[in-house]
Amino acid sequence: MTQGLPPATPDTPQPPLTPLSLGTLLRRIHHEWTTRQRIFDLPSARIWKRETGPDAVDLGFEFLGRPCATPIGPAAGPHSQMAQNIVLAWLGGSRLFELKTVQVLDDLDIARPCIDMQTIGYNIEWSQELTVEQSLEEYTKAWMIIHMLQRWEPLRDHVGADPGPFVFDMSVGYDLAGIKSDKVASFIRSMKDATSEINRLRADIPDEFAKFRDLDIPATISDTITLSTFHGCPPDEIEAITRHLIADHDIHTIVKLNPTLIGLDGVSSIVHDALGYDYIQLKSSAFDEDLHLDRAIALITELNEFAKGHGHRFGIKLTNTLVVNNHKSWMPEDAMYVSGPPLHVLATAVLDKLLGGLAPGTLDVPGSDGEVMVSFSAGVTKGNVADTIAMGANPATVCSDLLKPGGYGRLAPMLKALSTAVAESGSTSLAGFRAVRFAAAKTAGHATTAAAHLAYITGEGASEYHLEDNKKLPRVVDHDLEMWGCVACNFCVTVCPNDAFFKVPTPETLADEVTGRQQYLVLAELCNECGNCMTFCPESGDPAQIKPRLFLDPQRFEGATGQRFLIAPDSGVLAAAGGAEDHATRVDQVLSADEGLPVR
Ligand SMILES: Cc1cc2nc3c(=O)[nH]c(=O)nc-3n(C[C@H](O)[C@H](O)[C@H](O)COP(=O)(O)O)c2cc1C
Ligand code: SF4
Ligand code: SF4
C-alpha cells in the first residue's frame, strides 16, 4: 500500500460512464439553482463574473483568431469529457475548452484507479472512455447548455450581462491511420457543422428552458484542433497528421510537444537536481523515441509555413505530461505520467529552449512576436497563472490543480489573481500587461519573459515547485468510512471531475439514526472509479464504493456489483442490492427531503 492512500480495488469491474441526457442535465440545473443556488454542486459564490465598465480589466485574447473572454480553461482530460464538466468549467470562468482527446479506439478498458493527485500529479488515464459518437453528443450538449446559460435570467447577476465569447478546441489522437478513419473524420466534420446534432437535441430541451428551444446556436462547435501526440509518436507521423488536418480538414492546428524535448540530462537536472524529486525514475527510452529539439525546431518552422500556405494558423502546446516508471504501484500500470508543479518548470524550460533555437519572430510570445501561438498546460495554479500568461501563454489550460479540493471552484480565484496582476501593472488588457512584464524582464537582463520566469522558478521562487513544498500528504483521520455520516469535508464533491458526488442535509427524521449534518451519495453512472475522491477522503476507505451508490438505469443497476440502489427521480428507491437492502428506507428519506436528489 502506498503511504497515505487506502488500498486500490483493481478487481472491481469497469463501469462505463453513462452520460445524462440533455433534458436531465437542464432539469438538474434548474432544480439545483432553485433549491440550493448551486449548479452541478458549484456554489454561486464560485461562479466567475466578467468585469465591465471603462476601468475593467479585459482578460480576453484571440485563440487562433477566435475571440475568447478569458485565457484559461480545462486542459484535455477528465474536466472536458462529460457535458456537465464543461459547463462547470464555464461557470468557473473558463472560456477556452480543450476537449478530451478523441481517438479511433473508443472501447478500451482504462486500468483503475487512474488518477493520483496526492502530492504532485500522476495519472495513467491515457485515453477517452466514451465512444466517439458519445463524445460528439457530450460536446454538443455542453455547447448548447452554455449558450442557454449565457442568456438565462436567474444567472444574470452571477455571470454578468455579457459573460463573453468562448471557444471549444478539439483534441484528437493518436496516429494518422486512426485520425484518417471514418469514425474520427466524421467526428471532426460534425464538430465543424453540428446542425443536425443540435437540431436533434433541441427536442430534449425541457419546459424549464422552453424559451430556448428555438435559440440560434452556432453550428460550428469547433474548427481548431490540438493534436495529442502520444509518448513516442514518431516525428514524421506528427508532421503527416498536422498536414492532413490542415489540408484535408481545413482546420487550425496546435501540436502538443513533450517535455522530453530538453533531453534526459535537461529533465534530470530540473526534476532531480533543482527540484529534489530524487525518487522520480525517468525512462531513458522515452527520450530516444520522442521528438528531438533540432527536429522540433525544423518541424515548427515548416508546419507554420504549411499552415500559412493554406490560410490557417499553427501553434504548439507545452507540454504533454512526463512519462516515468511507476514507483508507487498504486495505479496498475508500469508507466505513469507526471503533471503539476515539476511539469510547470519543465514546460517553461522547453519554451525557453525553443525561443533560443527558433528564428526570432517565430513564436507569438513577448520578445519574439511571431505567428506560432503557444498554448501552455503544465502545473498552472492561482500562484503562477499571471506569470504564465505574462510569458505569452495563449491560453493556459489546467488539469492537476482542478483535481485538488475545491475543484472547479479554483478557477474563479485564479482569474481574480490574474486580473489583479494585470491591474497592478497599470494595464487593462493582457497585451498591456505583457508589455510591462517584458520590459521588466529586459531590465533584469533576460531576453524574454519566459527566460525571466524560468530563472525565478529555478531560483528564488523554486520552493513552490520543489519536493519539500509538495510532499505533504492529504489530511487523514483515524476512522473507517461508513455509508452514513463522516467528517463532511465535502472533498469527494469538489475533487470529482464528473460531479458524481452530491450532498444532502440529513433529514430530521434520520437525526437519531445517523451521524453528521450532511450525507454524501454518489451517482454511480457518472463515476469511472478514477480514485481521486479516495485519495482526498480523510477517512479510511473509498467513498465511491462505500457511500450509497445510486443508479438511474435498470440495466446498469442489474449489471453492477456491490451495494447499490435503483432510483427514479419521482419515486425514490425502486430496488436495492448487494447488501444495501437494509438501507433503502434511509436513502428514500434522504432523497425525498427538500433538497433531495438533484437529478430530475
Ligand atoms: C487524468 C488526466 C487525464 C488526461 N487526459 C489527457 C487527454 O485525454 N489528452 C491529452 O492530450 N492530455 C491529457 N492529459 C494531460 C493534460 O491535458 C495536461 O496537458 C497535463 O495534465 C498538464 O497540465 P497540469 O499540470 O495542469 O495537469 C491528462 C492529464 C490528466 C492528469
Ligand atoms: S466519484 Fe470518485 S472515483 Fe468516481 S469519478 Fe468521482 S472522483 Fe473519481
Ligand atoms: S466521504 Fe470522505 S471526502 Fe466525502 S465528505 Fe465524507 S469525509 Fe469528506
Per DSSP, the residues of 465-505 read TSGGGG-PPPP--S-B--SS------HHHHH-TT--EEEEE
Q: How confident is the model at residue 4 (pLDDT cuts 50, 70, 90)?
A: low
pLDDT at residue 8 is higher than 80: no
> What is the torsion angle, in degrees rounded to the nearest 10, for the CA atoms of residue 120, residue 121, residue 122 and residue 126?
-160
Q: Which ligand is closest to the CA of 497, given by its number?
A: 2
Q: Hunting for cell 437540431 — which residue is that? A: 199
- What does the pLDDT average to over 337-347? 98
The model scores a pTM over 0.85: yes
How far is the CA of 501 from the CAs of 147, 352, 496, in angstroms? 25, 41, 7
User: Residue 547 C-alpha to ligand 3 middle, in angstroms?
Assistant: 9
Give residue 56's pLDDT: 93
C-beta of 531 in contact with ligand 2 (< 6 A): yes
User: Residue 520 C-alpha to ligand 3 middle, in angstroms?
Assistant: 7
pLDDT at residue 529 is higher than 80: yes
Specify the residue with its C-alpha closest to ligand 1, atom 5.
77
- Which one, of 420, 539, 543, lies nearest residue 474 by Cα? 539
User: Position 185: which residue type?
Assistant: A
pLDDT at residue 477 is higher than 90: yes
Give dist(CA 508, CA 344) in Å, integer. 48
Which atom of ligand 2 has the smallest separation from the CA of 528? 5
User: Residue 469 C-alpha to ligand 3 middle, in angstroms?
Assistant: 25
Give residue 12's pLDDT: 46
Counting ligand 2 atoms within 8 A of each CB, the residue from 123, 526, 529 with the most, and so the one to mutate, is 529
Give residue 11's pLDDT: 43
Residue-wise pLDDT for 271-321, tens only, equals 999 999 999 999 999 999 889 999 999 999 999 999 999 999 999 999 999
For residue 168, report the phi and psi dihedrals to the nearest 5 degrees: -100, 125
Which atom of ligand 3 has the smallest separation from the CA of 489? 8
Over its C-alpha atoms, the chain yields an Rg (Å, rounded) of 24
Give dist(CA 55, CA 90) in Å, integer. 24
Least confident among 182-191, 222-231, 251-260, 489-498: 222-231
User: Residue 125 C-alpha to ligand 1 middle, in angstroms?
Assistant: 8
Give residue 379's pLDDT: 98
pLDDT at residue 10 is higher than 50: no
Give dist(CA 528, CA 112) in Å, integer. 8
- What does the pLDDT average to over 557-585? 95
Which atom of ligand 2 has the smallest separation from the CA of 534? 2
For residue 239, report the phi and psi dihedrals to the nearest 5 degrees: -65, -45
- What structural domains does the chain harbor? 22-470 (3.20.20.70), 491-591 (no CATH)
C-beta of 530 in contact with ligand 2 (< 6 A): yes
Counting ligand 3 atoms within 8 A of each CB, the residue from 520, 542, 547 with the most, and so the one to mutate, is 520
Q: Hunting for cell 516525428 — which residue is that? A: 235
CB proximity list for 113: less than 8 A, separation 6 or greater: 8, 10, 330, 331, 529, 530, 531, 532, 534
To the nearest whole percent, how much of the chain has pLDDT over 90? 88
> Could you write out the DSSP letters of every residue in 232-295?
T--HHHHHHHHHHHHHHH--EEEEEE-GGGGHHHHHHIIIIIIT--TT--B-HHHHHHSPPHHH
Q: How confident is the model at residue 422 (pLDDT cuts 50, 70, 90)?
A: very high
Give dist(CA 176, CA 383) in Å, integer. 38
User: Residue 390 C-alpha to ligand 1 middle, in angstroms?
Assistant: 22
Pocket of ligand 3 (CB under 6 A): 481, 486-492, 520, 533, 537-539, 543, 547
The answer to whether the beta carbons of residues 551 and 566 sit under 8 Å apart is yes
C-beta of 527 in contact with ligand 2 (< 6 A): yes
Residue-wise pLDDT for 546-555, tens only, equals 999 999 999 9
Residue-wise pLDDT for 492-519, tens only, equals 999 999 999 999 999 999 999 999 999 9
Q: Which ligand is closest to the CA of 126, given by its number?
A: 1
**Quick one: CA dihedral 63, 65, 66, 69, positive or negative?**
positive
Specify the length of the chain in residues. 600
User: Residue 543 C-alpha to ligand 2 middle, in angstroms?
Assistant: 8
The answer to whether the beta carbons of residues 300 and 354 sit under 8 Å apart is yes
User: Residue 533 C-alpha to ligand 3 middle, in angstroms?
Assistant: 8
HSE toward the beta carbon, residue 127, CA cutoff 13 A: 16
Counting ligand 1 atoms within 8 A of each CB, the residue from 399, 464, 495, 533 with the most, and so the one to mutate, is 399
Q: Mean pLDDT across the chain, nearest whole number?
A: 94
The answer to whether the beta carbons of residues 201 and 217 sit under 8 Å apart is no
Give dist(CA 388, CA 374) in Å, integer. 11
pLDDT at residue 95 is higher than 50: yes
Query: According to the 3-state scheme, what is the secondary structure of 17-56?
Result: CCCCCHHHHHHHHHHHHHHHCEECCEEHHHCCCCCCCCCC
Q: Hunting for cell 433534458 — which residue is that? A: 23
- Which one, of 324, 351, 318, lies nearest residue 338 by Cα? 324
Which grid coordinates are listed for 44? 454561486
pLDDT at residue 260 is higher than 60: yes
User: Residue 407 C-alpha to ligand 3 middle, in angstroms?
Assistant: 14
Give dist(CA 136, CA 477) in Å, integer. 42
- What does the pLDDT average to over 2-17? 55
pLDDT at residue 167 is higher than 60: yes
- What does the pLDDT average to over 579-599? 91
379 conformational bin, left if phi > 0, alpha if psi -120 to 50, beta if neither: left
Specify the residue with its C-alpha closest to ligand 3, atom 1.
543
Which grid coordinates are listed for 279? 525518487
Specify the residue with its C-alpha closest to ligand 2, atom 4.
527
Give dist(CA 167, CA 565) in Å, integer. 39
Q: Which residue has the higher pLDDT, 143 or 7?
A: 143
User: Residue 37 C-alpha to ligand 3 middle, in angstroms?
Assistant: 21
Give dist(CA 563, CA 203) in Å, integer. 35
Pocket of ligand 1 (CB under 6 A): 75-78, 100-101, 115, 121, 123, 125, 171, 228, 256, 320-321, 339-340, 343, 377-380, 398-401
Q: Are strands 335-338 and 322-325 parallel, antiparallel or unpaired?
A: antiparallel
User: Position 561: which residue type?
Assistant: T
User: Residue 171 C-alpha to ligand 2 middle, in angstroms?
Assistant: 23
